[in-house]
């Protein structure tokens, strides 16, 4: 069984710490969005939903047993759950829940925002796929754009913040609206979350033509943005890029990629109470409600631990020998006191050992010279190397990347790549 550690943390075989539960509480949704992924699950009847008691049992178990403190409520459309306020309240009353959020189409948010805040909800993600009324109706099947915008404003006023606006990028439909979306988000003090269209076999098995027609590489639309950029950072969760613009808006980019999967710490539970370790894959189903009702705590813990142990990234790099020896699960740009860039990594060796040389090879393969053209160089004799003057610090030990390339890296080690003259 996978060891959950002294603090009860659940970690899969790729050393990804599970700290985030995405909970679908119902299947109902009055919208018919053309991009909807159904949370990767088509099981259950249309009226399937979790009761507040079900929610309390599931979230309580993950929280008390595995230390999960971040929960996102989804659907269907969660605001169509007849007891949504009680659901929110049951989760918020658990001790040490640090982030309770909800993803919603926002259609009912203008009349529920304050009640949700009082019940204990921290923040919301609102889907707003277009700022054009006709395009919005084309995508969602509902003439509701103005009402959703009212809901966004109500959420801001109620303090359901930080507020995020979700936009699934659809080539030929809304890909020309990103500048307008950024202006809108700047006005309502929200972050734009630009989401790459993704295809899930279990849901979109017969709609490949739609994906092929409307999928668009996110990088192509980023090149079109005319608003000046102030700064760029990367989240540890799924290596998401965050772009801050000079008009005060910010945009989080959600791309399905190897680095996205390598840094994923989420698990999902469907409205039927089925554990789904990965959105993009079927996996081995675990009926949470039956498990918690008829098994002991120790038995339930073992079943879930074993299920998570089998959790694998949906996307991985090519099966190159040395790349498979090290998985980079955290990457962020940082700046030291002198304003110089540095790179922080948390690396997980696969196999018996991994060396600094393996780390550099994986770094180049994962992020490439497009991301860090000034950091890496190729040498026909020595292979991948850092540019002259860079140093590597493994935990508290400063190393010379040229002379210490065979230095072994322990699992879970934190590595910092230091620029010249950073002073360590």
Enumerate the domain spans of the chain: 10-309, 323-418
Tokens of 7: 């603090």
Phi, psi of 103 (to 5 degrees): -105, 130
Q: How far apart are the first and last CA of the chain?
A: 40
What dihedral angle (degrees, nearest 10) is formed by the CA atoms of 416, 422, 423, 424? 0
**Angle 360-419-402 (CA atoms, 0-180°, nearest 5)?**
45
Asked if residues 75 and 105 have their Cβ atoms less than 8 Å apart, the reply is no
Sign of the Cα pseudo-torsion (71, 75, 78, 83, in order): negative
Instruction: Round to whole Å and give the CA distance between 402 and 383.
Output: 11
269 C-beta neighbours (distance < 10 Å), count: 26
Crossing angle (nearest 10°) for helices 145-158 and 178-188: 40
The tokens 């949704």 sit on which residue?
29
pLDDT of residue 423: 44
pLDDT of residue 43: 53
pLDDT of residue 251: 95
Fold of 10-309: TIM Barrel (3.20.20)
Instruction: Please list the helix, strand and coil fractions of the chain in percent, rounded to the nearest 5, in that order.
Output: 30, 25, 40
Which of 172, 170, 175, 163 is CA-nearest to residue 222?
A: 175
Kindly give the confidence (pLDDT) of every residue in the chain, 424 residues in length, as a single tens digit, with 9 standing for 90 and above.
333 433 467 888 777 788 899 999 999 999 999 888 766 555 556 678 999 999 999 999 999 999 999 999 999 999 999 999 999 999 999 998 999 999 999 999 999 999 999 999 999 999 999 999 999 999 999 999 999 999 999 999 999 999 999 999 999 999 999 999 999 999 999 999 999 988 754 444 555 578 888 888 887 888 899 999 988 887 766 567 889 999 999 999 988 766 667 777 889 999 999 998 887 776 677 999 999 999 999 999 999 988 888 787 776 544 333 333 344 433 333 333 333 344 555 554 444 456 777 777 666 655 554 445 556 676 655 566 777 777 787 877 888 777 776 777 766 666 777 766 544 4
pLDDT of residue 378: 65
Instruction: Round to whole Å and give the CA distance between 26 and 45.
Output: 10
Instruction: Round to whole Å and give the CA distance between 97 and 79.
Output: 21
pLDDT of residue 353: 54
pLDDT of residue 316: 58
Instruction: Round to whole Å and give the CA distance between 369 and 341.
Output: 16
SS3 string of 317-384?
CCCCCCHHHEEEEEEEEEECCCCCEEEEEEEEECCCCCEHHHHHHHHHHHHHHHHCCCCEEEECCCEE
Which of 251, 250, 281 is CA-nearest to residue 264?
A: 281
Asked if residues 256 and 289 have their Cβ atoms less than 8 Å apart, the reply is no
């Amino acid at each position: 069984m996978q060891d959950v550690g002294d603090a009860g943390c659940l970690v899969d075989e790729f050393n990804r710490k599970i700290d985030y539960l995405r909970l679908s509480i119902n299947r109902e949704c009055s919208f018919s969005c053309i991009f909807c992924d159904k949370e990767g699950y088509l099981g259950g009847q249309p009226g399937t939903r979790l009761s507040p008691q079900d929610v309390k049992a599931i979230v309580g178990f993950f929280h008390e047993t595995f230390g999960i403190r971040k929960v996102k409520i989804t659907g269907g459309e969660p605001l169509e759950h007849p007891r949504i306020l009680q659901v929110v309240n049951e989760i918020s009353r658990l001790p040490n829940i640090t982030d309770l959020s909800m993803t919603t189409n926002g259609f009912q948010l203008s009349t529920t925002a304050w009640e949700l805040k009082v019940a204990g909800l921290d923040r919301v993600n609102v889907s707003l796929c277009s700022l054009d009324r006709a395009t919005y109706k084309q995508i969602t099947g509902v003439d509701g754009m103005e009402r959703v915008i009212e809901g966004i404003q109500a959420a801001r006023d109620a303090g359901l913040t930080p507020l995020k606006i979700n936009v699934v990028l659809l080539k030929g439909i809304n890909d020309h609206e990103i500048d307008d979306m950024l202006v809108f988000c700047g006005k309502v003090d929200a972050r734009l979350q630009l989401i790459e269209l993704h295809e899930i076999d279990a849901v979109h098995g017969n709609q490949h033509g739609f994906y092929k027609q409307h999928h668009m590489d996110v990088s192509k639309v980023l090149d079109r943005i005319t608003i000046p950029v102030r700064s760029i950072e990367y989240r540890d969760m799924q290596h998401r890029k965050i772009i801050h613009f000079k008009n005060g808006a910010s945009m989080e980019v959600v791309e399905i990629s190897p680095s996205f999967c390598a840094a994923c710490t989420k698990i999902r539970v469907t409205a039927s109470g089925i554990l789904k370790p990965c959105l993009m894959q079927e996996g081995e189903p675990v009926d949470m409600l039956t498990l918690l009702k008829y098994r002991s705590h120790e038995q339930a813990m073992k079943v879930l631990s074993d299920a998570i142990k089998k959790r694998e990234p949906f996307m991985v790099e090519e099966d190159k020998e040395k790349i498979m020896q090290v998985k980079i699960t955290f990457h962020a740009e940082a700046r030291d006191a002198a304003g110089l860039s540095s790179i922080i990594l948390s690396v997980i060796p696969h196999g018996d050992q991994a060396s600094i040389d393996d780390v550099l090879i994986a770094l180049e393969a994962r992020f490439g010279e497009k991301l860090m053209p000034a950091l890496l160089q190729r040498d026909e004799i020595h292979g991948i190397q850092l540019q002259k003057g860079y140093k590597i610090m493994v935990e508290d030990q400063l190393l010379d990347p040229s002379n210490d390339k065979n230095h072994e890296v322990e699992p879970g080690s934190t590595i910092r790549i230091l620029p010249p003259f950073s002073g360590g």
